[in-house]
Structure 1
Amino acid sequence: MEFASDNTSGVHPAILEAIARANAGPAPSYGADPWTARATALLREVFETDIRAFLVATGTAANAFALSALAPPFGTVFCHREAHINTDECGAPELFTGGAKLTPVDGAGCKISPEGLGKVQADFVRGFHQQAPAAVSITQATELGQVYSVAEVAAIGGFCRARGLSLHMDGARFANALATMNATAADLTWKAGVDVLSFGATKNGAMGVEAVVFFDTARAERFEYRLKRGAQVVSKSRFLGAQMAAYLEGGLWLENARHANGMAARLAEGLRAVPGVRLPLATEANAVFAVLPQDLHAHLLAAGAHYHAWPGDGAGPEPLPPHEVFVRFVCSYATAAEEVGALLEQARRFTRGGG
């Protein structure tokens, strides 16, 4: 019963096979290989526009280097207080921007809004005594599993354009967000005002590859120098290119995401029917956030369920009472319906007094 993270799943067989095929014979290095060229061409097809794309090994690298192209060392990037770049990347954005500051913004569901951004930016009145506002970063889907609609992204994009700010999207789970919507990848990114996207693949079936996708291609000038200096230019680049090409080929990325989202929806529906369990947030992608009774939580862990108690108070304004715990379950492309059923059966059995 594995629900700790979509990072715990293995590599999708089609991607593993692509890596093995790419292993045969010699190939040009440092991004000059045909697999990387194919991945870039497929990204152009997905986003329906000219782009500059750079493959890197980790999501932290994708975010940190993307922001380094948008914010000067004396600048600031507005992001949600719980954004991954602010809480889980060990200062990498600050390091690779050369010292730019992250300025947190609050918002329900880990979403930020033009109103919230406006309130925070209104405090930037000290001129060169204060960091210069440079960019906004949003996470799709958010750290609480919520999805920005096209209209919400466009509203933030409009805010940025009106104030001369760049817009970055952390898309570690971009596929999961898009799979829930009646929209295209283009609608959700450059058409809504996104300048640079950190396009995730690792959480959705790859071994380890992300793409920094520039829609404003002028921002990509000399970006390869940033990557080289930061040790993100991979010599055997074909293995990054092979992963990304296989991920995109035939729509595998969306197929994987739809499966993960479907398992999350099934889990959410089942948990909602368990007495004493509350779901304070809509399940919009592949993560389910729930409030469990402490004794049920202890039982599930003892029964072998892997998931995490989550920081916070249950996504509500009031702290949880001591007998409850806020938790996160994450489904992946590899989550089986049997795993979801087993966890729900454990929960139902315990609440019936059969634990």
Structure 2
Amino acid sequence: MNFASDNWAGAAPAVMSALARHSSGFAPGYGADPLTAGVSRSFNDIFEREVAVYFVATGTAANALALASFAKPGGAVFCHRDSHINIDECNCPEFMTSGNKLVGIPGADCKITPAALTEAMSRFPDGVVMHGQVASVSISQATESGTVYTVAEIEALAEAARSRSVPLHMDGARFTNALVSLGCTPAEMTWKAGVDALSFGATKNGCWCAEAVVFFDPERARDFEYFRKRGGHLFSKSRFVAAQFEGYFENESWLDTARHANAMALRLAEGIRSLGGRTAWAVEANELFPIVKRSQFETLTAAGAKIYEWPASDLSDNVAPADDEVCFRMVTSFATTDEDVKTFLETLTQAS
């Protein structure tokens, strides 16, 4: 019953097969190999246009380096108050952007709204040296609450960003989980909706160590190679990251693993609700945040369930945990099994 994180899961068979397939022989280093070039071209097919793609090791690097490419002196980066870049990345975005300030914006369901974004940006008027400069906007897809921005919501935020002539970045650590949840194309969820740069996450969805920064206008990526090298994320054996992506995309494995993870999360949510529990936020990807009696939570952890207590902020009174309740996080993955779900729900039944 390991629901601690999709980071805890291993690598999907298709990814490991591709790594083994490319593990022997010699190839040029630092991304000059044919496999890296071929996989980079596959991103053009996925996004239905020519894009610039750069591999990095971690999601934090992808986010911080992407934002660094948009940085300004005295710059301000606007994001949700509880976003990963604002809470969980050890000030790396500020470091990589040479001190650009992250401006956290509150919002229900861990989403920012165009109105809230516009108001926050208004506190940094153009041409006023005392207040710094609006540099970029970043959204998480899926969010830290497991919710998903609709295409219309992304379009509205992109329009708000364009009103100040700044780019929109998407932290796509769980990009594919959000994509299959919406049932749209990668192009529709990104550049067609106004996204300028994407942190394309694959590690959480079945890769071993594969993240990419995607620019939808290659001209905007002219200096990115220098940011990546200076940030320590230029792989000498880049072909092994490319190999992971090759296996990831092969036979639409990346979509299948995300659909499976999402389905497991929905099954858990439905089971928990049927037993009298509830979820703090809508279950729209592969994360869920159940609220149950503390005694039930303790029974689950005693039985070996890997789950984390979670702060339930910004919840209405009729949803927020009571004094004898607890909110906790569960994350499903490609490796979550029907038996995992069944055992968890049976344990919760016995604790009810």
| Both structures adopt the same fold (TM-score exceeding 0.5) | yes
Instruction: Describe how 1:190-269 pairs up with structure 2 within 5 A.
Output: 190-269=191-270
Q: Which amino acid aligns with 2:21?
A: R
Query: Partner of 1:290 in structure 2?
Result: 290
Structure 1 stretches of 5 or more lacking a match? none
**CA shift for structure 1 position 314:** 7.4
Whether the 8 Å CA contact 2:280–2:312 is kept in 1: the answer is: no
SS of the residue corresponding to residue 77 of structure 1 reads strand
Query: Partner of 1:76 in structure 2?
Result: 76
Q: Which amino acid aligns with 1:118?
A: T
- Per-residue CA deviation, residues 281-336 of structure 1 (Å, 9 max, x unaligned), is 21100011111110000000000100111123473358633211111111001100
2: distance between equivalents of 1:161 and 1:97?
A: 21
2: distance between equivalents of 1:273 and 1:313?
A: 24
- Per-residue CA deviation, residues 183-220 of structure 1 (Å, 9 max, x unaligned), is 11100000010000000000000001101000022110
Query: Partner of 1:103 in structure 2?
Result: 103
Change in 2 beyond 3 A, CA 1:283/1:29: same
Query: Partner of 1:140 in structure 2?
Result: 141
Whether the 8 Å CA contact 2:123–2:131 is kept in 1: the answer is: no
2: distance between equivalents of 1:176 and 1:62?
A: 18
Q: Which amino acid aligns with 1:169?
A: M
Whether the 8 Å CA contact 1:313–1:326 is kept in 2: the answer is: no
2: distance between equivalents of 1:88 and 1:168?
A: 17
2: distance between equivalents of 1:274 and 1:286?
A: 20
**CA shift for structure 1 position 337:** 0.7
Query: Partner of 2:157 in structure 1?
Result: 156
1: distance between equivalents of 2:338 and 2:316?
A: 30
Q: Which amino acid aligns with 1:286?
A: N
Mean Cα displacement is larger for which, 185-194 or 34-43? Answer: 34-43
Q: Which amino acid aligns with 1:128?
A: V
1: distance between equivalents of 2:140 and 2:339?
A: 30
1: distance between equivalents of 2:183 and 2:56?
A: 29
Query: Partner of 1:27 in structure 2?
Result: 27
Instruction: Describe how 1:324-343 pairs up with structure 2 within 5 A.
Output: 324-343=325-344
Whether the 8 Å CA contact 2:73–2:133 is kept in 1: the answer is: no
Whether the 8 Å CA contact 1:291–1:314 is kept in 2: the answer is: no
Q: Which amino acid aligns with 1:210?
A: E
**CA shift for structure 1 position 127:** 1.1
Q: Give the length in aligned residue pairs.
A: 350
Identity of aligned residues (%): 49
SS of the residue corresponding to residue 6 of structure 2 reads coil
1: distance between equivalents of 2:252 and 2:317?
A: 40
Structure 2 stretches of 5 or more lacking a match? none
2: distance between equivalents of 1:193 and 1:230?
A: 27
SS of the residue corresponding to residue 182 of structure 2 reads coil
Q: Is the aligned partner of 1:115 residue 2:105? A: no
Query: Partner of 1:88 in structure 2?
Result: 88
Query: Partner of 1:43 in structure 2?
Result: 43
Mean Cα displacement is larger for which, 338-347 or 123-132? Answer: 123-132
- TM-score, normalization by structure 1: 0.96
Mean Cα displacement is larger for which, 306-315 or 100-109? Answer: 306-315
SS of the residue corresponding to residue 305 of structure 1 reads coil
Whether the 8 Å CA contact 1:290–1:314 is kept in 2: the answer is: no
SS of the residue corresponding to residue 291 of structure 1 reads strand
1: distance between equivalents of 2:254 and 2:42?
A: 12
SS of the residue corresponding to residue 187 of structure 2 reads coil
**CA shift for structure 1 position 250:** 1.9
Query: Partner of 1:176 in structure 2?
Result: 177
- Per-residue CA deviation, residues 216-267 of structure 1 (Å, 9 max, x unaligned), is 2211002111111111001011111111121112211111000000000110
SS of the residue corresponding to residue 186 of structure 1 reads helix
1: distance between equivalents of 2:247 and 2:70?
A: 30
Whether the 8 Å CA contact 1:314–1:326 is kept in 2: the answer is: no
Q: Which amino acid aligns with 1:34?
A: P
SS of the residue corresponding to residue 180 of structure 1 reads helix
Q: Which amino acid aligns with 2:23?
A: N
Query: Partner of 1:3 in structure 2?
Result: 3
SS of the residue corresponding to residue 335 of structure 1 reads coil
